[in-house]
């Protein structure tokens, strides 16, 4: 109570940010990638529905599987799958970065910037490589 009273006598007129949050700070790469890690995690959560659909359809039979193949092959399906691939790889690399940080390494300004940039570039590069390989596999003999 004494704290509140002291605050009332000195700083009642000023509106002070009691709990600085995102909008206070200049956007930085480490901060953006922290948010992206959570967003990709949330997206992957619902992405598990796609994996479940694929597995259930395979178990259900050729007709159900044909439906999945039709959707995954459509433009929207391909976009969703591409986003899913990137989110998965980005969340994995971001997770590795967090595991490195858990060991109390890589916290110097240059190090953490490098780790964060490597996560972003790595996830985009791996996604593109995987999709090129995927299309080559699709084009190959089956």
Partner 1 sequence: MSPIQTMRTPMRRVRGLGTARSGTGQFWHQRITSVAGIPLTIGLLLIITALLGRSHAAVVQILGSPLVAITVLLFIINTAYHMWIGMQEIILDYIHEEKWKLLSLIANTFFVFVVSLASIYAILKLSFGV
Q: Is 132 in the site for partner 1 (CB under 8 A)?
A: no
Region of 7-15, 18-26, 48-56, 106-114 interacting with partner 1 (CB under 8 A): 48-56
Q: What is the largest CA-CA distance in the chain?
A: 80
Verify binding: residue 98, partner 1, rule CB under 8 A.
yes
Per-residue x/- marks for partner 1, 72-91, CB under 8 A? -------------x--x---
Exposure class string for 38-75: b at 16+ Cβ within 10 A, else e: eebeebbeebeebeeebeebeeeeeeeeeebeebeeee
In whole angstroms, give the CA distance from residue 73 to residue 81. 9
Q: Which stretch binds partner 1 (CB under 8 A): 10-18, 21-29, 38-46, 109-117?
A: 38-46
The smaller minimum CB distance to partner 1, of residues 102 and 108, is found at: 102
Rounded least distance, CB 109 to partner 1, Å: 25
How many other C-beta atoms lie within 10 A of the C-beta of residue 125? 11
| Beta-carbon contacts of residue 76 (< 8 Å; ≥ 6 apart) | none
Residues 6+ apart with CB under 8 A from 141: none
124 binds partner 1 (CB under 8 A): no
Q: How far is the CB of 9 from partner 1 (least distance, A)?
A: 24
**Interface residue list for partner 1 (CB under 8 A):** 38, 41-42, 44-45, 48-49, 51-52, 55-56, 58-59, 61-62, 65-66, 85, 88, 92, 95-96, 98-99, 102, 130, 133-134, 137-138, 142
């Amino acid at each position: 109570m004494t704290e509140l009273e002291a605050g009332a006598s000195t700083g009642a007129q000023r509106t002070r940010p009691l709990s600085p949050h995102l909008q206070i700070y200049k956007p930085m790469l480490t901060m953006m990638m922290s948010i992206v890690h959570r967003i990709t995690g949330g997206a992957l959560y619902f992405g598990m529905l796609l994996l479940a659909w694929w597995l259930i359809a395979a178990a259900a039979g050729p007709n159900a599987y044909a439906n999945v193949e039709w959707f995954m092959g459509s433009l929207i399906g391909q976009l969703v799958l591409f986003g899913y691939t990137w989110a998965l790889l980005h969340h994995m690399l971001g997770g590795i970065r967090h595991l490195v940080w858990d060991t109390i390494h890589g916290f110097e300004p240059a190090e953490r910037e490098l780790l964060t940039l490597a996560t972003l570039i790595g996830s985009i590069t791996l996604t593109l490589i995987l999709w090129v390989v995927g299309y080559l596999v699709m084009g190959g003999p089956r």
